[in-house]
Structure 1
Amino acid sequence: MDRSHRHDDLELNLVLRGQLDYLFGGERISIPTGHLALFWGATPHRLIQSPDDDPVDSCWLHIPLSTVLHWGLAARDLNDVLQGTPVIVPIAAAGHDVESMFMCWLRELEDEDGATTVLIEAHALVRRLLGYHRRSTEHDSTMVLARSGASESMQRVTAMAQFIMAHFREPITTADVAEAAHLNTHYAMSLFRRSVGTTLGEYLTRCRVSEAQRLLVTTTLSASEIAHASGFGSQSSFYAHFVKLCDVSPGEYRARNC
């Protein structure tokens, strides 16, 4: 994955060997061997695994957000899905041979009837994983954050991404972001683009649009209220950026997903 990207699907990752390392929102996050990760892809994310790392054997499935919203998940479970960070649980939480299930899905997705079966089984699996996560987080988090092995430059990039994620609702500038990482503005912009594959401004906009998507499908706030809550300076700016990134207007997006 050469650059950060985003999508409107719920993504399910299964890691059978090795480790997947993501720059996800403002965090560097690792999905270790024998774990499943569940997340909404609207948060900008990028694989940052080094070519020198051990080989990774993994599987993934994308489920349209509109489908997930019609599953009628409990409010807490839906919040866990849309919170902006992956839910990571051990494979044992699936309760069965999930690797074999993924292999069956690969074959079944080749025809329409098979796709229906995949969605039914994926629905059950997502509910099971979220239930495990809910029970386990009453005591401790199952998420593994891998920060210590990051290079100094990646630590600076992570600091910038974290600052944006924490302050994107505010009228911040590239200079503010650079200062958070103790860098001059020009170098910060160059480092971020080289490492993440997008500019600071584009990343900031994507975070704001992702928040607007979440608010559109989980609240009854008006478009102007959502524009303000997501950090856009005006409703016209919100509309233009939203249409550019989502290919539909905010109103159409809400109608399709609610």
Structure 2
Amino acid sequence: MWKIALIDDDRQVLKSMKKLIPLEELDAECVVQAMDGQQGLDKILEHQPDIIITDIYMPVMDGLEMIERLRNSGYDGKIIILSGYSDFEYARKALRLNVDDYLSKPVTLQTIQAVLQKTVDELENSALSRIEHDKLKQKLELYEPYVQKQSVKSLLSGPETGKLHSDLWGHVPKLRSYSRFAVMGIELVRTVRVTDISIPDWNLFRFMISNVLQEILNEECPDAVYSEMFSHHAGIILPIPADAEEAAVKERMVLLAKRIISCVNQYLRLQIRIGLGSIRDGHAEIAVSTEEAFHALRARHAAVSQEVEVYIYDPLLQVDVSPVSRPIHIYQQLADFVRQGQEEKARGVIHEAVKDLAQIGIQKPSQLQKVGEEIWTILSYALYDVGMALEEIVPYEAWHKSLSSVTSVEEFGRWLEQMVQQVCGHHGWYENVKHKQAIQFILDYIHDHFSEDITLQDLAEKVFISRNHLSYIFRNVTGETFNTYLTRVRMEKAKSMIVDGGHLIYEVAGKVGYKNVPYFSTLFKKYTGFNPSDLVKRHS
């Protein structure tokens, strides 16, 4: 309901105006009536009406002075002057004070109604614009964590052609005050436990690894940023203080890497290996450190010990990291474009890859087949993100058989284009890609807010999809219902906290979103097979 203020020193005019204004039709109410400018000023500041109708000449304070003080105080509502004075100087000053209309007494019923209807229409349009702006702002704020993750990923692998590092930098505030960086490359070892797993289990593995790493980084290096990359790889950008000595930094990186490997193995029973890139100056060099880290992993050179798989990049032992030998950049972009169904962009990456392979001397059939096998693994994991299995589109045996006939770099490029075309042309692709961002946002939101009271309806409103349709999409992509997935995430976190120690059962329940401890215990036993107290005893 719109609020109107009437200011005039003639009591009869005030009564007449209140009768003339079709308040009900305008969905309005008269909240202020005053007979001088000072009284009007005080009441307007108190009630903040949307529309003011005021005379100019009044005792104590005239209308123009009242309007000037209102504007100086920040009042931005609509103002209509209704005055017996039609002097040009008054009109000019009124214009300077951003008055919306200037009417001369006497005024007809039709005129006042028309002016007020026009004013209300303008207010409604402004309100709609603000609502749309607020919705857009809210949506951008909700998606900012997703944008930040994508920006970190692009900093690690190098931005897409035509994009600038500065475009990414603005989304990663924790790194802005640093000018030196090193990258830690992480590879999940493909043991029996992580092969042939379901899509929900793969998402859960990603969450659990991310959760363990983030807790360690919060303690050891709070400004570091972590990102999943292609396939079973991830990266951590470590900001380096300007005055830190290189030898001391490397020692800290090795200790951090050892702790990460130990904790992931202890809490998740997963094996990872880590490569450490060199310290680089400037955010544009982060991708170079990434390539170094993964070169160290692939070559298995400069291992820090026989007991733990941590490898340090050594330029004397490794292949030189130049623009033409950057497989991480190529693999990341290929995975992203295929996952998004962008066949033309994927073709561009393939052409770039073929040129690079030729320049660094990878031309033998056995070498090309090894690259093709790596790409199979990368695309398999990439498609998991959109709820698709590569094996169902291009069976591994068919992929391997066609790859075995490739004898040159040129043939390899044509073969890979055909494979990508087959994947992107799959009949079930469009619907998956269409909703991928929404589902990815929801998965990230669950992993970040599992301790809160979140519902599918809340999330449906955040991504502007109906609850029923979102429920269908979520199950289609993840293979599970929203509630089942949320419960699994909470139970895995609870199990990790209990094994870690230091929390009472009721504290664990509260931290994973359950106020009712008996209900939490029932769910925990249903999910794990034993009571929380039993698990505490086993690990005490």
| TM-score, normalization by structure 1 | 0.52
Which letter maps to 2:434? E
Contact between 1:168 and 1:231, CA under 8 Å: does it hold in 2?
yes
1:13 positional shift: 1.6
Task: Give the length in aligned residue pairs.
Answer: 170
Contact between 1:159 and 1:180, CA under 8 Å: does it hold in 2?
no
Matched, 1:213 2:490: no
1:193 positional shift: 0.6
Which letter maps to 2:456? T
Contact between 2:452 and 2:513, CA under 8 Å: does it hold in 1?
yes
1:91 positional shift: 8.0
Q: Determine which structure has the larger strand proportion and give its number.
A: 1
Using the aligned pairs only, state the percent identity. Answer: 19
Partner of 2:231: 31
1:254 positional shift: 2.9
Give the one of 235, 242, 250 matched to 2:517.
235
* Separation (CA, whole Å) in 1 of partners of 2:522 and 2:445: 24
* Separation (CA, whole Å) in 2 of partners of 1:94 and 1:256: 38
Q: Which has the larger radius of gyration?
A: 2
Contact between 2:446 and 2:486, CA under 8 Å: does it hold in 1?
yes
1:1-258 alignment to 2 at 5 Å? 12-13=189-190, 23=203, 24-25=206-207, 30-31=230-231, 77-79=261-263, 89=274, 90=294, 92-93=296-297, 127-129=308-310, 149-150=339-340, 151-258=433-540
Choose between structure 1 and 2 for higher RCO, CA contacts under 8 A separated by at least 6 residues.
Answer: 1
* Separation (CA, whole Å) in 2 of partners of 1:218 and 1:162: 23
> Is the partner of 2:514 in helix, strand or coil?
coil
Segments ≥4 residues shifted beyond 6 Å: none
Q: Would the alpha carbon gap of residues 79 and 152 (structure 1) be closer, same or farther in structure 2, given more than 3 Å must change?
A: farther
1:159 positional shift: 1.1
Contact between 2:521 and 2:532, CA under 8 Å: does it hold in 1?
yes
> Is the partner of 2:520 in helix, strand or coil?
helix
> Is the partner of 2:437 in helix, strand or coil?
helix
Which letter maps to 1:226? V
* Separation (CA, whole Å) in 1 of partners of 2:231 and 2:454: 31
Structure 2: which 5+ residue stretches go unaligned? 1-187, 192-196, 211-226, 236-256, 275-293, 313-327, 341-432
Residues 5-61 of structure 1, C-alpha deviation per residue, up to 9 Å, x if partnerless? Answer: xxxxxx7327xxxxx9954349975326xx699xxxxxxxxxxxxxxxxxxxxxxxx
Q: Would the alpha carbon gap of residues 28 and 78 (structure 1) be closer, same or farther in structure 2, given more than 3 Å must change?
A: closer
Which letter maps to 2:453? P
* Separation (CA, whole Å) in 1 of partners of 2:516 and 2:462: 26
The RMSD of aligned alpha carbons is: 4.3
Contact between 2:453 and 2:513, CA under 8 Å: does it hold in 1?
yes
1:255 positional shift: 3.0
Q: Determine which structure has the larger helix proportion and give its number.
A: 2
Structure 1: which 5+ residue stretches go unaligned? 1-10, 15-19, 38-72, 98-123, 133-141
Contact between 1:227 and 1:233, CA under 8 Å: does it hold in 2?
yes
Q: Would the alpha carbon gap of residues 201 and 36 (structure 1) be closer, same or farther in structure 2, given more than 3 Å must change?
A: closer
